[in-house]
Amino acid sequence: MTSVLRAEWTKLCTVRSARWTQLAILGLTVGLTVLLTSGSESIGDGGDNDIMRDSLVGVYLAQFAVVAFGVLVITSEYATRMIHTTFIAMPRRGRVLASKALLVGGTVFLVGLASSLVAFLVGQHVLRENGYDPPGYPAWTLDDGPAQRAVIGSALFLAAIALLSLGVGAILRHSAGAISVLLALLFVPLIVAPTLPEHTRELVQKITPGAGFAVQQTVPRDDALPIGPWMGLGVTAAWAAGALLVALPLIRRRDA
C-alpha cells in the first residue's frame, strides 16, 4: 500500500491542473468572502444575519474547483490512457482507488482548512468594521466552539465533495460528463428548493450533498438548512462513500 501511495502522490504533485485547482480553492474561498462581506453593512442594533456563514460564503464557490480537482485526478488518466500503465504497475485496482481517495481527501481537507481559516478571520474582521459587532452580533473568534465547528466542518465538507467527485469520475470516466453531473447535483437543489412546497423543500435540503453546509450555521433563520450541523455533514459524507463504493467494483471489472 505504501508503494501505491507513493506512486499516486508523485502523479498528484506533477499534474499541473492539480496545483492550479488547489490554488483556486484558496482564491475562490477567500476572494468571494472578501467581496461579499465588503459589500455588506449593518444598520441598526442587530438582525438575523448569520455572520458565521457570511464569513465562509466563499466555500460555495470553491466547490467548482474541488469538483474539478476530484474528477481530473482519475479522468485525466483515462483520457491519456495512462490508466493502463497504472493498472499494469499496480494490478490491485482497489488499492489504487483507495490511495487516490486518501490523497485527494487529505489534500483538499488541508487546503480547505487553510482557506476556511483565512476566510473566517478576514470575513469576521471586515464584518465588524462594517457594523456587525456586539451587542447586535456576536464577536466570533477561533476560541468559540461554533467557529471551530464551522471552519473545520467547512474543510471536511470540501474533502467529502472531493471524494464524491473522485467516485463519480471513476464511474463515468469522462471529465466533462462527471463535472456536469456533479455541478447539477450540488447546485440545482439550491436553485430549485426555494420554489418547492415546504415539506418537499426540506426533504430535498436534507438528502442532497449540500446538506453539509449546515455545519456553518449559527442562526435559525427561515432560509437555514433544516438539519443539524454534523448530521448534514454526515449526509455529504454518505454521498461520497456511496460514490466510491459504486466505483470500486466497476474499476475492478471494466477494461481500462
Q: List the pLDDT tens digit at each of the 256 positions of the chain.
A: 677 777 777 777 777 777 788 899 999 999 999 999 898 877 666 677 889 999 999 999 999 999 999 999 999 888 888 887 778 777 788 888 999 999 999 999 999 999 999 999 999 999 998 888 888 888 889 999 999 999 999 999 999 999 999 999 999 999 999 999 999 999 999 889 889 998 999 999 999 999 999 999 998 887 889 999 999 999 999 999 999 999 999 988 876 5
CA 20 to CA 249: how far, in whole Å? 31
CA–CA separation, 226 and 204 (whole Å): 10
- Separation of first and last alpha carbons in the chain: 21
Cα angle vertex 94, ends 93, 95, to 5°?
A: 90
CA 74/CA 100 separation, integer angstroms: 8
Name the grid cell of 147: 467557529
Residues 6+ apart with CB under 8 A from 119: 29, 30, 33, 34, 55, 56, 58, 59
Q: Are 174 and 251 in contact (CB under 8 A)?
A: no
User: Rounded to an integer, what distance in angstroms lies between the CA atom of residue 158 and that of residue 112?
Assistant: 6
pTM of the predicted structure, to 2 decimals: 0.94
Cell of 47: 438582525
**Residue owning grid cell 501511495:** 5
Nearest residue to 162 via CA among 63, 230, 229: 63
The answer to whether 249 touches 168, Cβ cutoff 8 Å, is no
CA 18-97-11 angle, to 5 degrees, is 35
User: Helix H segments across the chain?
Assistant: 2-14, 16-38, 51-55, 58-80, 82-89, 93-129, 145-172, 175-192, 198-207, 229-253
CA distance 240 to 203: 19
CA-nearest of 129, 162, 181 to 22 is 162
Q: Which residue is listed with cell 466497476?
A: 250
**What pLDDT, on a 0 to 100 scale, did the predictor assign at position 45?**
62
- Could you tell me which of 184, 185, 183, 203 has the C-alpha nearest to residue 193? 203
